[in-house]
Amino acid sequence: MQFSGSARGNLVKKPVLSGGREESRYPDRLQMYKIPPTDNISLEEFEELAIERLKVLREVETLGIRFKRESKEYKEKMSKHLSDFLPHLYISNMYSSKSTANDEYDDKRKDHISHFILRLAYCRSEDLRRWFLLQESELFRFRFVTEEEGKGVEEFLQHNSLSYTPIGEEEKTTFLEKLRDSGYNLTDAAVLASKYYKVHFTEALDLVRSRKVFLREGSAYIPHQSLVSIITNVFRTQLSHALAVTARALPYLEEDDRLLPRLSNLSRQYLGQDYSQKKNIAGGKITLDQIDAVSQKSFPLCMRQLHQNLRENHHLKHGGRMQYGLFLKGIGLTLEESLAFWRTEFIRIMDLDKFDKQYAYNIRHNYGKEGKRADYTPYSCMKIIMSNQPGPGDCHGCTYRHTDPDLLRQQLARHKLGKEGLDEIMKLVKETHYQLACTRFFEVTHNVSGLSAFNHPNQYFEESRKGATPNLSGLQSTPLSQGVKRESTSSTTQSNEEMAIDDEVDDQQLMEIAMNA
């Protein structure tokens, strides 16, 4: 198999390694992946490289959920996985000093090709692009920090035309107080000894969002230690654009029956099991008359909330029906059972004819019996958290992400988690580790520990049904749906090239912050 790319000829020729391999193909240990590979590789190597990188990206996701980026545990575990993946390239690997130029070349080639293979696999839908963009950006950020600690970043910036000129000493002295108080707790001496770069605020949205930079007339003053944020934003923007371009070119591969099955298989693995395939569930099949009891024991809070709202109001809006209906499909309800379940509730506030005309079609559609007859899969945690945010009157979404923190604490307190457990969960919520907060809730209520972070509501359900005895005291108290206060949000349609990674503050708010600085 051969990858092709027209930009190869633009590289400057450099010395040739043994075996005729050009050093100029990979001048830096870190890459922006601008130039497609032109190697001949077998299908076996194609698949092997993709799977290896996919394992790393899934670890990046898991560690990002489980630990803080700055924590010692995060750095140690990330270092271990990177050392396993690129043993002769990763700067912190104790064996890298013994590596030869050929060893490093092989790792650079592996890094380069595996990235482009997964780019092909993960450009196929918005969800896939978003996930791939998140993990690759964090992987790049961590590797950049490591390279910077090893003082190997200057040539990388030069080769990628990333030039940032430090501000002069006079300007630094003029704004000394502002720079000192910009969020890093630096002394005057530390500010004067540090390099500061002046860039347009749009290049530092992450830092503006967290209020860690001094803003003046639309410019952000960035300390050297925060340069990684700027470079990562450049990487993210370029990769987002590249994914959109790749998605448009993907139809040219439709006739290649060698690649498409492999790419499809890779793209299905990013969130683990999709729960589209029915299987035997621990504890036996759930019947309709058991759903109320099972929901209190084995449903995650997001689905428990939807169930309680349905029982109380006998209706859910479209977003809630989709999220909850596909979850029920995933736990084993057949089409006939789902129709009976929803019909029983809805006809309490409407006649049967209205239900059949306005709602039954949507249920059959989810099971692939109407429309384009696609067999829709239950929503993953990532999809629930990052898309289709709830509006007024909605009760779908992620309980930990979309519920007002004060009310969330009240709701969690009803489950008698204990002060330590409650504080730990709320701390995780504050740090935006929503999946880990859900996992910790499961551990406390089921008297277990050491679980990997959940990435799917149906995974929560299956783990609960495996036989653990949950701590259910307090679960029958006031329903979670009472008094739930949603965050004020507005849905924004985004292009493939401008996918938002963190939507806590939108670009309009950032513009107002910068202009008022």
Distance of CA 243 to the CA centre of its chain: 16
Q: Domain spans of the chain?
A: 25-156+235-270, 169-226, 288-466
Residue 150's pLDDT is 54
Structure confidence at residue 453 (pLDDT): 81
Alpha helix segments (H runs only) across 67-187: 72-85, 101-121, 126-149, 154-159, 169-174, 176-180
At residue 334, the pLDDT reads 92
Instruction: Select from 132, 134, 138, 139 the least CA-distant residue to 116.
Output: 132
- Positions in the chain short of pLDDT 70: 1-24, 90-99, 148-153, 183-184, 253-262, 264-283, 467-517
CATH architecture of 25-156+235-270: Up-down Bundle (1.20)
**Predicted pLDDT of residue 66:** 74
Quote the CA–CA distance of 378 and 396 in Å, as a whole number: 13
pLDDT at residue 494 in the model: 35
Residue numbers belonging to the annotated binding site for [4Fe-4S] cluster? 302, 381, 398, 438
Predicted pLDDT of residue 372: 83
pLDDT of residue 491: 32
Q: What is the pLDDT of residue 173?
A: 83
Surface-to-core class of residue 109, CB atoms within 10 Å of its CB (0-12 exposed, 13-18 middle, 19+ buried): middle
Binding-site residues sit at 302, 381, 398, 438
Q: How many residues does the chain have?
A: 517
pLDDT at 265: 66
Task: Answer for the pair 63, 78: CB distance below 8 angstroms, yes or no.
Answer: yes
Quick one: pLDDT at residue 135?
92
CA–CA separation, 367 and 334 (whole Å) = 9
Distance from C-alpha of 277 to C-alpha of 430, rounded to nearest angstrom: 35
